[in-house]
Amino acid sequence: MLEKFKLGLKRELFIYLGMFFILTLLMHSDLLSHPTSRFELMIDKGNYSHPFLYTFILYSIIFILRKTLDFIIGLFEIKTS
């Protein structure tokens, strides 16, 4: 049971971090060409948390949709035990 929990936690963390990097690159494409200037702007403005906040909001929406679909699919699955 604990191994299943660890595996699920690692999977969700991988999904979150993947979304984080994809959203970061989509919103700030200059990170690939001029990362130091982007980090300097971030330090000057002091906006460290907005990428994590936006990713968390999108992750929460997708997580709710996934769990809702899992529940609906589970209602229609044939129990074979």
* Per-residue pLDDT reduced to its tens digit, 5-54: 999 999 999 999 999 999 988 988 888 888 888 888 888 888 778 888 99
Dihedral of the alpha carbons of 40, 38, 16, 69, in degrees to the nearest 10: 130
pLDDT of residue 39: 82
Cβ-based burial of 58 (10 A; exposed 0-12, middle 13-18, buried ≥19): middle
Q: pLDDT band for position 81 (50/70/90)?
A: low
The residues spanned by each domain of the chain are 28-76
What's the pLDDT tens digit per position in 50-79?
A: 888 999 999 999 999 999 999 999 888 877
C-alpha span between 49 and 55 (Å, rounded)? 10
Dihedral of CA atoms 64, 62, 67, 73 in degrees, nearest 10, equals 130
